[in-house]
Amino acid sequence: MKLVEKDPEAAIVWFWKAINAGDRIDSALKDMAVVMKQLDRTEEAIEAVKYFRRFCPKQAQESLDNVLIDLYKKCGRVDDQIVIIKHKLKLIYLGEAFNGKPTKTARSHGRKFQVSVKQETSRLLGNLAWAYMQKSNFLGAEVVYRKAQMIDPDANKALNLCQCLIKQARYDEANVVLRDVLQYKIPGSSDHKSRSRAEELRLELEMKHSNNPVLPNLPDLGFESDFVEVLDRVMSEWAPARSRRLPIFEEISQYRDQLAC
């Protein structure tokens, strides 16, 4: 750690030596990717992780996927983010995520906590929706956010959904979503960042209403083929046998027809 702080370039050389020697390749890859990202060598980190992950154990693949998603975000590769998120949703659907366990131990700010499959599914759908927002596919993002909120609601996704509706000039619907956060009806509504953002969106909606705009001609927001694939197949086609489906996907499968419109 001291070497990373004092001389990150030298640290990368040592990480490469560990990788080439086969010494805990997954750990060295993840640490090296973090340092490379800090040095704006993100593309190099992506190629290293993609190539050497084949030499890592199965239980390390999920965390390496998370590393790649973070790297793709750094360099704006939205389509690549979507591919990995779809893959992770597929593993959940098939019951293969978390190495087959119902929960996993996660870490944040030095704190350990348990994450359930239900929570992970909602989180991934939230990430997928955010990726669609970056592609200006606000209708697609809206549908995914709504499904994520049905599984495990939180204020952050609610505010993103509100933003999606504003982008589509559906201000009354956006107000309904925002009201739940302002009235503390959704988990996380009391968070300082959520309160600040909710207030910003409230002011934006007030301006929109006062201007009384005519509904603009929106760009083509029809579902793209990959968007249909990630929800439609996750809900109905990815599992070879219905008995292998996790309960959470049985719950949202009933809404499949709404996605085909």
Q: What is the pLDDT of residues 106-151, one digit of tens each?
A: 877 678 889 999 999 999 999 999 999 999 999 999 999 999 999 9
Q: Which domains does the chain have, with CATH numbers?
A: 2-76 (1.25.40), 111-259 (1.25.40)
For residue 105, the model assigns a pLDDT of 83
- Please tell me the pTM assigned to this model: 0.77
- Six-digit token pair at 149? 């909120």
Per-residue pLDDT of the chain (261 residues; tens, 9 = 90+): 545 667 899 999 999 999 999 989 999 999 999 999 999 999 999 999 999 999 999 989 999 999 999 999 999 999 999 999 999 999 998 888 887 788 888 877 678 889 999 999 999 999 999 999 999 999 999 999 999 999 999 999 999 999 999 999 999 999 999 999 999 999 999 999 999 999 999 999 999 877 755 544 444 444 555 555 555 554 444 344 444 444 445 444 444 444 433
**Chain length of the chain:** 261
Name the DSSP class of 242.
G
For residue 3, the model assigns a pLDDT of 58
**Cα–Cα distance between 224 and 205 in angstroms, integer?**
28
Rounded to whole angstroms, what are the CA distances from 9 to 22, 82, 166, 170? 20, 31, 45, 50
